[in-house]
Amino acid sequence: MGKIVIDENLCKGCTLCINACPLHLIRTAQRINAKGYYSAEFADKEGRCTGCTLCAITCPDVAIEVYREKKTEAKK
Amino acid sequence: MEKKFMTGNEAIAEAAIQAGCRYFFGYPITPQNEIPEYMSKRLPEVRGVYLQAESEVAAINMIFGAAGAGARVMTSSSGPGISLMQEGISFIAAAQLPCVIVNIMRGGPGLGGIQPSQSDYFQATKGGGHGDYHMLVLAPHTLQEAVSLTMEAFDLADKYRNPVMILGDGCMGQMMEPVEFKKTPPTNIPTKDWALTGAKGRAPNVLKTLYLDPVALEKKNLEINRKIQEMITNEVHVETYQTDDAEVAIAAYGTVARIAKTAIKVLREKGLKVGMVRPISVFPFPYETFEKIANKVDKFLVVEMSFGQMVEDVKLGVCGKARVEFYGRVGGMIPSYEEIVNETVKFVKEAN
Amino acid sequence: MQRELSKVFSKPRTLRPVAMHYCPGCGHGITTRLLAETIDEIGVREKTVGVAPVGCSVLLHDYLDIDMYEAAHGRAPAVATGCKRVHPELVVFTYQGDGDFASIGTAEAVHIAARGEKITTVFINNAIYGMTGGQMAPTTLIGQKTTTSPFGRSVEQTGFPIRMAELLATLDGAVYIARVSVHSPKNIIQAKKAIKKAFETQIKGLGYSMVEVLSQCPTAWGMTPIESTKWVEEKMISYYPLGEFKAPKRGLTNGKED
């Protein structure tokens, strides 16, 4: 289980993250950000994000932070 | 003749084509990129050659090669690139080859900025490269003048077998004005029997600049210097603007002169009789014109986009007969006509 | 089982918290981040000096929180050499584009490699001159249209594109030479490994290292960012193959213990 946080003000709407996400959980926002770009927004209503970081790896503006579940119980 | 609405860069490039230039070697640098870009499209249309060199050092040496082969050639650049070309320009002058070099000046020194400046005046007029030589340097102040001076530059280069520079700036290069390209009648250009074209049926030509024997080298230098003296006698271009009744004369060239013309209009409306001496050739410099004007006008305000380079030549021309003050903007800042008005008013108040 | 979300990806320390000026989708932003991550992971931020070029990455010193020079066009390897000879203990790198490394600076590129300077070059190859408005580069592909090859680059007029990685790999002083790409996450991960190995080559005093990074340039190529990544994949890689052209037989960890 994971999630991402996109800094709308750093995003330039290049859509590389949208293209990179294997589960299609990122989309273009309907509003313009302060710089005039339609930034990317995280759309994961069903909580399917695995925190794979492919979006953040490809983001040229380091606008994405990724969080992933840390299982604290040791695997048996 | 129909007018075309073009950027200064494009107009200069087209003027070169109209003057018969068929070879361009250059390298991208802001704010003159439109010149190589225009040439890359236009030269194939007239069966010329556009080649982007690997650097400005390579470009100026390609110019040396093509000029030495007898062709009308041009290159263009801005500050940092012109600095790289200095060795090549010295070689071209030493080998007595014709070529046209365009400097669209930007803020310096170092990488500087991409906005306009006039901070390469010393480099252009006082040598720039090593050794005793001079480029003939022309400074247009409108795009139409840039067109006519560029076309004239090729004739002058061939006439004197010497590099000629068109000294522009980023404002001129980027702005757009309507220009027309008038066909000028052919001038008396001697044939280039010195060119390297293959020694068929003639003794070989050698284009060299090394003379180990100082007697020979001095003789060569005298030959070059004789041409420079001829340039000084015959090729001074200057505009005197509303100087007949002037109490103050502004001295400016290029884009600054253009802005100064507006300042003069405003100053005259205020009741101040201001005129301008506008060098069009900054080498050879119109020292005599300044000396003559200094007989009637006792105040000169030199305005440049630099910390004061042409002002030294104005002082030489005026020769102590008048007060010379300086106002400049640097780093890519362009003086407004209001600043020039204020400086002139201040100068006149202080002087009286 | 407790579910805690921990941060697994964020801005590296060496990257300043500022917006980068690069165009949307540009590979420079990705590579700059990889450089910062590498510097952080090896732990050399305070002993690293970078040399920025003339070109789109001229403002690199605004993004990396390290000592930086800005060199004249093409001269970064010479500037880096001056620094490294004074401070051999520092990690010195140059970051250069097509004009800087493959055009005006080819002499400096050849000689820094030939001399085997313990310096690393990150060379961004986007087959064009971005900063000045999209003119042809020595790395521009045959047929590619640019503002100074308006009809498409022709072999007859301007010859063939230069493969800098292969060229420098012929020099004995060049110890680690690789070509990577940043047009997809998979390739970005490989690119980072190569950059790390290049830095290790320097730190272990083995010789000159260079990583050529194929990058998309959406603006100058006249494409959307996604289209431009496809262009790298479909057009650039066949001429500029990815891989390691030279690597020391031993001495680099490749992320694991040797």
Task: State the complex-level ipTM.
Answer: 0.93
Supply the pTM of this predicted model: 0.93
User: Pick from C5, C7, C226: which is nearest to A19 by CB?
Assistant: C226
The H or E element that residue A59 is part of is none
For residue C59, tell me if it sits in a domain. yes
Q: Could you give the domains of chain B?
A: 4-234 (3.40.50.970), 238-351 (3.40.50.920)
pLDDT value, residue C253: 65
Structure tokens at B329: 């903007």
Chain segment B67-123, per-residue pLDDT in tens = 999 999 999 999 999 999 999 999 999 999 999 999 999 999 999 999 999 999 999
pLDDT value, residue C139: 98
**Distance of alpha carbon C144 from alpha carbon C115, whole angstroms:** 34
Q: What is the mean pLDDT of chain A?
A: 94
pLDDT value, residue C258: 38
- Does residue B209 carry a pLDDT above 80? yes
**CATH code linked to domain A2-68:** 3.30.70.20
With CB atoms and an 8 Å threshold, state whether C104 touches B54.
yes
With CB atoms and an 8 Å threshold, state whether A1 touches C189.
no
For residue C148, tell me if it sits in a domain. yes
Q: Which chains touch A (3 or more CB pairs under 8 A)?
A: C
pLDDT value, residue C2: 54
With CB atoms and an 8 Å threshold, state whether B37 touches C148.
yes
* Cis ω before B31 (30° cut-off from 0): yes
How many domains, chain C?
A: 1
What's the burial of C6, exposed, middle or buried (CB within 10 Å: 0-12/13-18/19+)?
Answer: exposed
Query: Sign of the CA dihedral B72, B158, B5, B172?
Result: positive
> How many residue contacts between B and C have a Cβ separation below 8 Å?
53
User: Pick from B33, B41, B56: which is nearest to C150 by CB?
Assistant: B41
Chain segment C103-112, per-residue pLDDT in tens = 999 999 999 9
Structure tokens at B55: 């650097």
- What is the amino acid identity at position B239? E
Read off the CATH number of the domain in which C160 is found. 3.40.50.970
For residue C78, tell me if it sits in a domain. yes
For residue C171, tell me if it sits in a domain. yes
Chain segment B248-273, per-residue pLDDT in tens = 999 999 999 999 999 999 999 999 99
Average pLDDT for runs of 10 along chain C of length 258? 83 97 98 98 97 96 96 97 96 97 98 98 98 97 98 97 98 97 98 98 97 98 98 98 92 54
pLDDT value, residue B186: 65
The SS3 call for residue C6 is: strand
pLDDT value, residue C257: 39
Residue C52, beta-bridge partner list: C70
Q: What are phi and psi of B42, to 5 degrees?
A: -85, -40
Quick check: A60 contacting C, CB < 8 Å? yes
With CB atoms and an 8 Å threshold, state whether C15 touches A71.
no
For residue C17, tell me if it sits in a domain. no
For residue C21, tell me if it sits in a domain. no
- Give me the mean pLDDT over the A19-39 stretch: 97
- Does residue B184 carry a pLDDT above 90? no
For residue C256, tell me if it sits in a domain. no
- Give me the mean pLDDT over the B167-175 stretch: 97
For residue C19, tell me if it sits in a domain. no
Nearest CA in chain C to A55: C185
Query: Sign of the CA dihedral B148, B53, B79, B34?
Result: positive
pLDDT value, residue A72: 64
With CB atoms and an 8 Å threshold, state whether B52 touches C148.
yes
Q: What is the mean pLDDT of chain B?
A: 96
